[in-house]
Amino acid sequence: MRHEADGTENNWRHLIEAVEEFGQGFTIFDRGLQLILCNKRFLRMLDFPDAIARPGAEFADFIRFNAERGEYGEGSVEAQVEERVGQARRFAPHCFERTRPDGTIIEIRGTPLPSGGFVTVYSDVTGRKREKEELERQTQYLRSVIDHLPQGISVFDENLRLRFWNTKLLDVLGLPPATVHYNAPFEDLIMVPALRGEYGPGDPHEHVRTRKELALKFQPHRFERSRPNERTHLVEGRPMTLGDSVIGFVTTYTDITDRIAIESDIRQKNDILQTLFDNIPGGISLFDQDLRLVACNAEFKRLLDFPEEVFADGPPGMEDLFRFNARRGEYGEVDVESHTGAMMERAKLRQPHKFERTRVDGTVLEIRGVPLPDGGFVSIYTDITDRKRAEEEIQRLARFDSLTGLTNRHSLEVRLDQCLAEARRHSGRLAVMFLDLDRFKGVNDSLGHAVGDDLLKEVSRRLQASVRESDVVARLGGDEFVVVLTDIAGAQDAGVVADKIISVVAQPVQAGEHHLRTSTSVGIALFPDDGQDRITLMKRADIAMYRAKAAGRGRHQFYLAGANELDGLPAGHG
């Protein structure tokens, strides 16, 4: 019997561990609605205190706890408890979602047990719900965008059944609305123009059969077709693949009638366009559907440092420019031909893009590319070197003290936490030193802040020179500094460094015409002896520093438990 009980207990434990791994909470109540078992994730997911989850706890206790903190909204607590306990006593399977006051969405799935009672599984579906809502929103956005595109669009699956289209498709092809519907056969749709004679003389059914055979090859195609209404359309079809399998094809129908009519006018206006290009604040390049350069401005050539000989034989292709850049090392040390080929493959995808590229001379360019409806591509090049440097400077100022260049208070907290974590992992020791300059206020008051700043900068330089690169020197503000010594053998190491710091700080400082002397008092707290966390160690190093000041300044003191608390900080120090 004992063996069976142990086996049952192990099974329960394994079950709990398994459910925990799946990130779900669960509860099991008996037929009397008393708790048999629950896991910690259930308690955390619904913010229940551990104390409530005792074996035999009443189901009503959990409901009342929730009702009292407003989980079910406004209303009588007892009425809410009675209603939900009544529902539970039906022991009916149920699955519903409940949104908690903090916005978390919990899916609650309950299943009655054969012996009475029920087991309930709780899943946090907040992310899933929001992802679904976001997907639906993006789908609506996409649908709206596609419906407003000037092209007609159709998507057929691998069986040539219509899966997607936009309203423009009906206008472009003159299709009756009744013929265009989900799952409509390809041959039914093209039969409409065939019967109108749009594919020329002959049997319409033969035209349809021929075109269906071509469509089943799922080959990319691009051609122009003129309709009887004197409109000309550019028809572009591309297969869609999933892995190595073809899953259909997408076709766009672009009305190019007006484009054809104004092409001559566009050629006449090229000079005007070039003038506009040359006055755009940034480089710009325009490539046609064959990825040949159609137009660019002078700034494009300047920013990318293209010499005029590149354009001597006429507008170069995108591949020519890629190869030229690769040969002169713009992309680093690469195989010229393979790298050029890879870049052309990406360019042929004609995907919108935005990225930054640092040229060999240090110039940072932001490059934005947008595909054009006719298959061309426009790219804009902006010199963001100054902006990037400003951003780097802002980031530096956020981490370092602007006067001394030392680590600032915020970065100190982060780095000290990292040092402590490293020391714990390797059973190491470290020291936190808290120090300030004795009588620094007098320097500021008598000689001015500029002299005081010079003194702080020189002291900072000496502090950094007194420790290893792996150690941390930080300025908290004013004349307060913290030094973190990592990976020390013991208190003796910290004492040696503290004496060194006291010695170098005491050396004369020449600040302009002023010959200054100062001293420092150093308080030391050791990990793990004096504290296990950053806050405790810094506080105790501070206490030890004030003991050093009280003992006569220009010396160091280690934190001593008991003796330090009697000092009654901060009154009487400084």
First-to-last alpha carbon distance for the chain, in angstroms, is 73
- Could you tell me whether strands 105-112 and 221-226 are parallel, antiparallel, or unpaired per DSSP bridges? unpaired
The confidence score (pLDDT) of residue 420 equals: 95
Tokens of 535: 């806050």
Whether 31 and 116 have beta carbons less than 8 Å apart is answered as yes
The confidence score (pLDDT) of residue 70 equals: 92
Tell me the pLDDT band of 207, cut-offs 50, 70 and 90: very high
Whether 439 and 451 have beta carbons less than 8 Å apart is answered as no
pLDDT tens, residue by residue, 127-165: 888 888 888 888 787 777 777 788 889 999 999 999 999
Whether 523 and 547 have beta carbons less than 8 Å apart is answered as yes
Domains of the chain: 2-128 (3.30.450.20), 149-259 (3.30.450.20), 269-387 (3.30.450.20), 400-567 (3.30.70.270)
The confidence score (pLDDT) of residue 455 equals: 87
Burial label for 246, CB within 10 Å (0-12, 13-18, 19+), is: middle
Alpha helices in 180-317 (DSSP H): 186-195, 204-215, 257-268, 270-278, 298-303
Cα separation, 380 vs 224, whole angstroms: 30
pLDDT tens, residue by residue, 104-125: 999 999 999 998 999 999 999 9
Has residue 525 got a pLDDT over 80?
yes
- Higher confidence at residue 312 or residue 533? 533
- Count the Cβ atoms, other than its own, within 10 Å of residue 3: 7
Has residue 475 got a pLDDT over 50?
yes
- Higher confidence at residue 17 or residue 182? 182
Q: At what angle do helices 409-425 and 385-399 cross, to 10 degrees?
A: 70
Tell me the pLDDT band of 7, cut-offs 50, 70 and 90: low
- Specify which of 8-12, 23-27, 399-403 reaches the highest per-range mean pLDDT: 23-27
Has residue 570 got a pLDDT over 80?
no
- Higher confidence at residue 39 or residue 22? 39
Amino acid making up residue 532: Q
Average pLDDT in the chain = 87
Helix H, strand E, coil C: the string for 342-377 is HHHHHHHCCCCEEEEEECCCCCEEEEEEEECCCCCE
Alpha helices in 298-348 (DSSP H): 298-303, 318-327, 336-348
Cα separation, 541 vs 526, whole angstroms: 8
Q: Which of 26-40, 481-495, 506-520 has the lowest mean pLDDT?
A: 506-520
pLDDT tens, residue by residue, 316-344: 999 999 999 999 998 888 999 999 999 99
How many residues does the structure list for the chain?
Answer: 574
Tell me the pLDDT band of 533, cut-offs 50, 70 and 90: very high
Tokens of 110: 């309950």
Task: Provide the whole-model pTM.
Answer: 0.39
Q: Is 514 left (phi over 0), alpha (psi -120 to 50) or beta?
A: beta
Nearest residue to 67 via CA among 55, 82, 54, 56: 82
> Which of the following is catalytic: 479, 529, 542, 567?
479
Catalytic residue list contains 445: no
pLDDT tens, residue by residue, 541-557: 999 999 999 988 889 99
Tokens of 572: 């009487």
Alpha helices in 150-256 (DSSP H): 167-173, 186-195, 204-215
Has residue 564 got a pLDDT over 80?
no
Cα separation, 123 vs 97, whole angstroms: 9
Tell me the pLDDT band of 441, cut-offs 50, 70 and 90: confident
Q: What is the DSSP letter of 400?
A: B
The confidence score (pLDDT) of residue 571 equals: 37
Has residue 228 got a pLDDT over 50?
yes
Across 370-377, average pLDDT: 87
The confidence score (pLDDT) of residue 574 equals: 38
Cα separation, 212 vs 187, whole angstroms: 7
Cα separation, 120 vs 101, whole angstroms: 21
Tell me the pLDDT band of 377, cut-offs 50, 70 and 90: confident
Across 242-255, average pLDDT: 90
